[in-house]
Structure 1
Amino acid sequence: MYACQSAFTKAILSRVAWLILAIGLIHTAWGQAFPLPEPLVVDRPLTTLLAQERMVVYTGTITTPYAFLAALKAPSGEIKTGEAMSEPAYRCPEAWICIPLVNTTDELQKMVMNLDHNRCDTLEAWVGRKDSLSLRYVGKLDRGMPLGQRAIPLRDFALPFELAPHDSLLLLLRSRRTTGVHELNPVVSTEKAFMINHEKEEVIRLLALASVFFFMFTVFSLGVIFRHRLLICFGVYMFPIALGQLNYNYFFDAFPFPARLSLTANSIGLFIIFMANALFHSFGTEYIRSLGIYQTGHRYAIRTLVVANLIPMGLLLVPLRPPLQAFVTAASLLLTTLNILWLFYISVLGFIEKREKYLFITSTLIFVPVLYKTYLATRRS
């Protein structure tokens, strides 16, 4: 009997200790002012606010929202203010975001937080007030969650909450990502504004998807009809571009991936990138041949680039530990950069040899700026 009483006493003391710790963390965090930016202002029923400039991002290792609030009291290099969250997943597998909000209207505002989750695997949210000792759990989302289990039955990562009249609160987000780039650009809207914007975005997404597939089939069909190898190869290259549009439209969130493969909705985006890199060289090879300057050096370079992309594609089909996840993510950036450089190289060859200006203009105006932005991002990181 004494053993039972002792175990019961230990359990009670353990719970009391955890309660004291939680209250201590809250008091530490909310007892003094946060280094927070000015809050986002909800001043009318149709409001859409981009949170990027008013959010605090923490990329350290913590386990609870209370610990996140406490961490904000002692700013470090892991805390950023007024910047979009965009880092390789191996460097930042988890991120916490704090968004201050204020409702200046006389009415209760039903709000929705949403974000593009092509570069976010799992999202959780809490709301709380500075003068309160508790946080309210809003919900959790992941890409494989059925629509019927979501607070808002849409493929978007969208979570609802309420903002009382003339009230302010903190919206806390916790995001996780395993492979690829971890990127967060949350948007906070009133419920009406969210539904209006969602319908517009759906139309734009569907038009873009239909345009890509129509273009792919048209180019490939014309190549087959007229026996034009360059058009056929370009149509083949457009296939992973079309798959990328499907992924952008969240088609693969509900896709039944084979159980024996480790490929999931979270990693299919990287897989498509490597596929596009590899299939591009069918078009690139045929383009060089059309110039009449295809040489042994070109053949070896192309084979090397194709094999280099096939290796991480194969790795994504098997379970990956963190070191290999980091390798695959880094490889995607490196190989995509090399592909763009190769495109620029063959476009210059075409311009020099046959004054082919369209590919040269495309690579110069579109892809070279992308390389420059990548270079700047790499230097900052």
Structure 2
Amino acid sequence: MFKANTKYKIKTTEGFKPFEGILRKYTDRLYRFELNDGTIVKCSKGHGLLTDYGFKRADEISYDDCITGKFIKQIAFREGNFPVYDPVGVEGNTYLQPNGIVSHNTEFIGSGATLISPAKLGNMSYINPVRKQDQVDFYEEPKPGHTYFLSVDCARGMRLDYSAFVVVDVTNAPYKVVAKYRSNEVTPLIYPRFIYNLGKYYNDAHVLIEANDVGAQVADAVLTLGYENMLWSTSKGRAGWVLGLGQGSKLGITTSTPVKRKGCSNLKSLVETDRLIIEDYDIFVELTTFARKNELSADSVFEAEPGCNDDLVMCLVLFSWAVMSDFWKDITNIDIAKDIYKDKEQDEEGDDGAPLGFATINTYETFTEGDDVWHVVDPELPSWFDEVYIGVVDDDW
């Protein structure tokens, strides 16, 4: 559930900043950190906290870390089904908790209705781009001999919806997102030159443009500029639109319901089998709110939850629709679907056939806080612990 914000600002390390709203999700594990000054930090397992090594998820933090410059005295966790509330879209992506701890917005764990499973979303991470220019986030510069795919979503540039594109390195599997762009101000007159320049920059990338509404105009303009490596689609009657040239071909692809369903299915397979590496924060956020429109209907389409965006995700939906097509296999000699199927077969062959219902039982030291029972993580403390807490720590440690 997302509640938009237009009134308040949130405190950050650089003063009060605007933010988009508050998102409520559920997590299956909460963490509790007791710091050397008595500060208690409680958060979900995927929440980002500032350590001496940069931001880390709570479930990746150990006793060797410091949280916002403070040593960790104890780490504990609880398991169950807990609601979490976090600010979304904080300018600068960080905010201060009341206790002075620097957090990275935000905890996103998804739900049963999201395209990508909550378990996978919980394990995804994001990094800072190596550089930013003209609203493009660059994660990798183009490499000689590498092949790139530029997937484009178009809007009217009236601050109502976003134009977006994603650049993916498709030289080998796993594919990897290497750049992304999103703007609600760029117009259909300016956008084609932008696409042309980025496509040329990334080794004459294959360009697929969503041709709904103004997208057809943008695609024609990019072709008019002389860009040659454009992707086309053709109708196969009842079989729907497919990637490739033929009678009645058109530039780009119209995002019909069958195209979107196929693209969503392919994207899910690529992400959950680690065939597509995504380390961009904005894409990650969109994936956590890209959910089935009607949770009760398996035939319902996926789209952004109310108050959220899916422009970057839709670029990846079109990309996924294209790269698992027969035409793409023919021009690249990469059959990603076959690779996924082989891995699935190997996983099934490697199953030891252990009966369901048995699992390793871990025992942890526990303590209670009110009605809550917490399990202490790894009571074995780091080598420096005695030096830091000498004369301070009681016999319970």
TM-score category (smaller protein):
under 0.3
- The two structures have a TM-score, normalised by structure 1, of 0.26
Q: Which has the larger share of helix?
A: 1
- The two structures have a TM-score, normalised by structure 2, of 0.25
Larger Rg: 1
